[in-house]
């Protein structure tokens, strides 16, 4: 099977780069170390070859990095989002706090955050009353809060 990505080293800096053989797009691997670059290249080719396995491996890495990741509830996500917005304008912080205090979120608060796509959670809250933009606040980037 032909590899989707290939690696090359450029110029005086010695940085390694990837090139996508199907699209021709090039991007830096962010390293000058040949072994690390080879690992990143291998990971990209594996992800392209077996996309379903890629999601499973990501879950395994998350659990290995943080054992509590599978025990977190949506309340944790809401609290983290409020903390992230605490440095924003005061009005923004107030909007998030009042939004998360709304009744539609009560059904989610104590549910465990699953390591799946946001679409699964969206199906769960579709039947709840309330504005959809409140629900979308939680599903914008749920994985960014899980990894803490």
Q: Is 63 inside any structural domain? A: no
112, β-bridge pairs: 73
Q: Is the domain of 75 the same as that of 132? A: yes
Q: Is 60 inside any structural domain? A: no
Res. 140: pLDDT tops 70: no
Cα torsion for 112, 118, 119, 121, to the nearest 10°? 20
> 1: closest CA among 53, 52, 49?
49
Q: How many Å apart are CA 48 and CA 55, to the nearest integer?
A: 12
Q: Is the domain of 136 the same as that of 91? A: yes
Q: Is 95 inside any structural domain? A: yes
Q: Is the domain of 20 the same as that of 77? A: no
Q: What would the pLDDT profile of 74-133 be if each residue is shown by its tens digit?
A: 888 888 888 877 777 778 878 888 888 888 888 888 887 665 554 554 555 444 444 444
Burial degree of 121 (CB within 10 A; 0-12, 13-18, 19+): buried
Of 7-11, 32-36, 99-103, the range with the lowest mean pLDDT is 99-103
Tell me which residue range forms the domain holding 17: 5-49
Q: Is the domain of 95 the same as that of 126? A: yes
Q: How many Å apart are CA 59 and CA 113, to the nearest integer?
A: 13
Q: Is 57 inside any structural domain? A: no
Q: Is the domain of 85 the same as that of 36? A: no
Q: Is the domain of 125 the same as that of 88? A: yes
56 vs 137, residue with greater confidence: 56
Q: What would the pLDDT profile of 54-69 be if each residue is shown by its tens digit?
A: 777 777 777 787 777 7
Q: Is 25 inside any structural domain? A: yes
Q: Is the domain of 42 the same as that of 74? A: no
Q: Is the domain of 79 the same as that of 134? A: yes
Total structural domains in the chain? 2
Q: How many Å apart are CA 36 and CA 30, to the nearest integer?
A: 10
Q: Is 58 inside any structural domain? A: no
Which span out of 32-36, 71-75, 122-126 was modeled with the highest average pLDDT?
32-36
Provide the whole-model pTM.
0.45
């Amino acid at each position: 099977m032909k590899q989707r990505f290939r690696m090359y080293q450029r110029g005086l800096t010695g940085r390694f780069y990837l090139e996508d053989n199907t699209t021709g797009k090039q991007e830096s691997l962010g390293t000058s170390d040949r072994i690390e670059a080879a690992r990143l290249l291998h990971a990209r080719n594996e992800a392209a070859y077996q996309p379903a396995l890629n999601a499973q491996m990501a879950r395994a890495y998350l659990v290995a990095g943080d054992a509590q990741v599978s025990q977190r509830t949506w309340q944790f996500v809401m609290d983290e989002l409020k903390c992230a917005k605490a440095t924003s304008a005061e009005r923004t912080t107030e909007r998030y706090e009042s939004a998360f205090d709304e009744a539609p979120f009560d059904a989610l608060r104590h549910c465990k955050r699953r390591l799946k796509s946001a679409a699964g959670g969206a199906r769960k809250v579709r039947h709840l009353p309330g504005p959809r933009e409140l629900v979308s606040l939680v599903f914008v980037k749920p994985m960014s809060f899980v990894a803490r």
